[in-house]
Structure 1
Amino acid sequence: MDEADHDPWAVAGTRSELVGGPLDGLLLDVTGSTHDEIGTSVLLQTALGQYGPDGRTLYEPRPGDPSRFDWTGDSPQ
């Protein structure tokens, strides 16, 4: 068993953890993103949020910790 089998942070690429909200604990792949791109909010489609299958959920990078994006709310679109 290699390190990537039990440590999702050890696999190739860069990932940021989603914290809170409907996607809590999932990893956001930011491989190839610039520092400026990682420093912006992401709006992700999910059926798990307040607005069902057509809804979106918003995560913003945690200040000083780009390895985590914090949930800020849901949106109908």
Structure 2
Amino acid sequence: MDDHDEQLLRGRVYGAEHDDPGPRAGRTYRELCGGPLDGLLLDVTGWDAEQLADGAALSTHLSRYGDTGRSHYEPRPGDPQRWEHVGDTP
């Protein structure tokens, strides 16, 4: 296990229950960087290569558009384990 793996094991998972926010063994995660979800982990277990390449539009009331907003994250060039915030949509 490297330093990045150890950091992921300490993080909170997007969409997880507040009383059990941590990552689980045997799951695959991406770290969200920048934007309103900065520092959270996204569980991508079972996603295929195309889905991973596309990134995700994640619901969050913290987006620029409030309760109806989504924050968009895409794989960071050269470091696909980290996904960068690329904007928000209503």
Bigger RCO of structures 1 and 2 (CA < 8 A, at least 6 apart)? 1
Matched residue of 2:54: which SS?
A: coil
2:9 aligns with one of 1, 7, 17: 7
1:33 Cα shift?
A: 1.1
1:10 Cα shift?
A: 7.3
What is the TM-score of this pair, normalised by structure 1?
0.81
1:43-67 CA distances to partner (integer Å, 9 max, x unpaired)? Answer: 1110011111011111111122221
Aligned counterpart, 1:18: 32
* Alpha-carbon distance between aligned partners in 2 of 1:59 and 1:35, rounded to the nearest angstrom: 15
Trace 1:1-77 onto structure 2 (pairs within 5 A): 7-8=9-10, 11-76=25-90
Residues 47-56 or 36-45, more deviating: 36-45
Alignment-mate amino acid for residue 74 of structure 2: E
What stretches of structure 1 of length at least 5 have no aligned partner? none
Structure whose residues are more often strand by fraction: 1
Alignment-mate amino acid for residue 79 of structure 2: D
Give 1 or 2 for the bigger CA radius of gyration: 1
* Alpha-carbon distance between aligned partners in 1 of 2:66 and 2:49, rounded to the nearest angstrom: 32
Runs ≥4 in structure 1, deviation > 2 angstroms?
Answer: 6-11
* Alpha-carbon distance between aligned partners in 2 of 1:45 and 1:7, rounded to the nearest angstrom: 23
